[in-house]
Copies of this chain bind each other. A is one copy, B any other.
Amino acid sequence: MSPLVRRLEQFVRLSSSDRAFLTRAAGERLRKFGPRVDVVREGERPRDVQLVLAGWACRYKQLEDGRRQVVSFFLPGDICDLNVFILREMDHSIGSITDVTIADLSREFFEEISARYPRIVTALWWESLVDAAIQREWTLNLGQRTALERMAHLLCELFFRLRLAGLTSGDSCEFPLTQADLADASGLSKVHVNRTLQELRSANLIVLRGKTLVVPDLRRLMDAGLFNANYLHMEREGRQLDAIE
Contact = CB atoms under 8 A, between A and B. Distances in A.
Interface of A: 43, 59, 61, 63-65, 67-69, 71-72, 81, 83-84, 86-89, 91-92, 114, 122, 125-126, 128-129, 131-133, 135-140, 142-145, 186-187, 226, 230-231, 233, 235, 238
Contact of A142 (B68, B114, B143, B238): B143
A63 B144 contact: yes
Nearest to A236: B88
A143 B187 contact: yes
With most chain B CB atoms within 10 A of its CB, the pick from A59, A84, A92, A235 is: A92
A135 B137 contact: no
A89 to B, nearest CB: 6
Contacts of A86: 122, 125-126, 129
Nearest to A143: B187
Given A140-B63, A144-B63, A132 B129 contact: no
Contact of A92 (B114, B136, B143, B186): B136
Closest 8 pairs (CB-CB, A-B): A143-B187, A142-B142, A91-B231, A69-B143, A67-B144, A135-B135, A69-B140, A71-B139
A84 B143 contact: no
Nearest to A59: B136
15 contacts: A61-B137, A63-B144, A64-B226, A68-B144, A71-B136, A83-B125, A83-B129, A87-B129, A89-B230, A92-B133, A114-B114, A131-B132, A132-B132, A142-B142, A142-B187
Contacts of A139: 61, 69, 71, 135, 138-139, 142
A63 B187 contact: no
A153 to B, nearest CB: 10
Contacts of A68: 144
Contacts of A235: 88
A145 B128 CA distance: 27
Contacts of A132: 81, 131-132, 135
Contacts of A226: 63-65
A70 to B, nearest CB: 8
A245 B139 CA distance: 31
Contacts of A83: 125, 129
